[in-house]
């Protein structure tokens, strides 16, 4: 009788521990999602410093979250910090090489920096992956062609 009570107590203890662990993991998963959603809301409200903090916090919990890096790049673009913008875009493209928005933003930076070979290289990749922003590539190509024709004159 004593042995069966002991086994019963161990089973209950294991159940309680397992329940606690599952509950803890679900809270962490929910908080990760909450950081990104809250950050996105702040970004849309143009509260860029608060959004930046929350996107960075989301990255701590989920270091491969492409969207957080992409929005950080957008924030740095608005704050006119091209070095940090470029770093975040490079991270996006490292994690997801076919991210068309990051490719497009990188092309614009390269165009602004007069790095035309980089624009052409990124454009070739962009053409293969574009789904929503294909028209943007055409406008960048036209800008590049007009610059090249001015240089030839």
Q: Annotate 85-137 with DSSP letters as a single string.
A: HHHHHHHHHHH-TT-HHHHHHHHHHHHHTT-HHHHHHHHHHHHHH-SS-HHHH
The yes-or-no verdict on residue 18 having pLDDT over 70 is no
The yes-or-no verdict on residue 25 having pLDDT over 60 is no
The yes-or-no verdict on residue 30 having pLDDT over 50 is no
Contact 102, 89 (CB under 8 A): yes
The yes-or-no verdict on residue 19 having pLDDT over 80 is no
What pLDDT sits at residue 83?
A: 94
* CA pair distance 30, 68, nearest whole angstrom: 16
Task: Summarize pLDDT for 107-140 with one digit per residue, the tens.
Answer: 999 988 888 888 888 888 888 887 777 777 677 7
Mean pLDDT of 140-149: 66
- pLDDT bracket for residue 10 (50, 70, 90): confident
Output the pTM of the full model.
0.70
Dihedral angle over CA of 70, 79, 133, 111, nearest 10: -110
User: 15 or 71, which is more confident?
Assistant: 71
What pLDDT sits at residue 31?
A: 47
Mean pLDDT of 92-114: 92
- Look over the chain and give the mean of its residue pLDDT values, rounded to a whole number: 82
Collect contacts of 60-63 with beta carbons under 8 A, ≥24 apart.
61/28, 61/31, 61/32, 61/35, 62/32
Measured over the CA atoms of residue 104, residue 107, residue 109 and residue 112, the dihedral's sign is negative
What pLDDT sits at residue 146?
A: 66
User: 129 or 69, which is more confident?
Assistant: 69
Nearest Cα to Cα of residue 89 among 68, 62, 118, 59? 68
* CA pair distance 105, 66, nearest whole angstrom: 14
% of the chain beyond a pLDDT of 70: 73
What pLDDT sits at residue 119?
A: 85
* CA pair distance 90, 22, nearest whole angstrom: 35
């Amino acid at each position: 009788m004593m042995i069966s009570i002991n086994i019963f107590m161990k089973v209950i203890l294991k159940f309680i521990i397992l329940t606690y662990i599952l509950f803890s993991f679900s809270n962490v998963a929910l908080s990760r999602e909450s950081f990104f959603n809250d950050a996105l809301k702040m970004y849309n409200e143009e509260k860029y410093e608060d959004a930046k903090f929350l996107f960075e916090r989301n990255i701590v919990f989920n270091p491969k979250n492409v969207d957080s890096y992409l929005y950080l790049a957008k924030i740095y673009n608005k704050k006119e910090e091209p070095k940090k913008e470029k770093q975040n875009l490079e991270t996006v493209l490292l994690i997801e090489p076919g991210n068309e928005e990051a490719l497009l933003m990188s092309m614009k930076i390269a165009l602004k920096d007069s790095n035309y070979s980089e624009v052409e290289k990124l454009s070739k990749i962009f053409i293969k992956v574009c789904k929503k922003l294909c028209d943007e590539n055409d406008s960048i190509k036209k800008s590049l062609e007009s610059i090249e024709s001015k240089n030839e004159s």
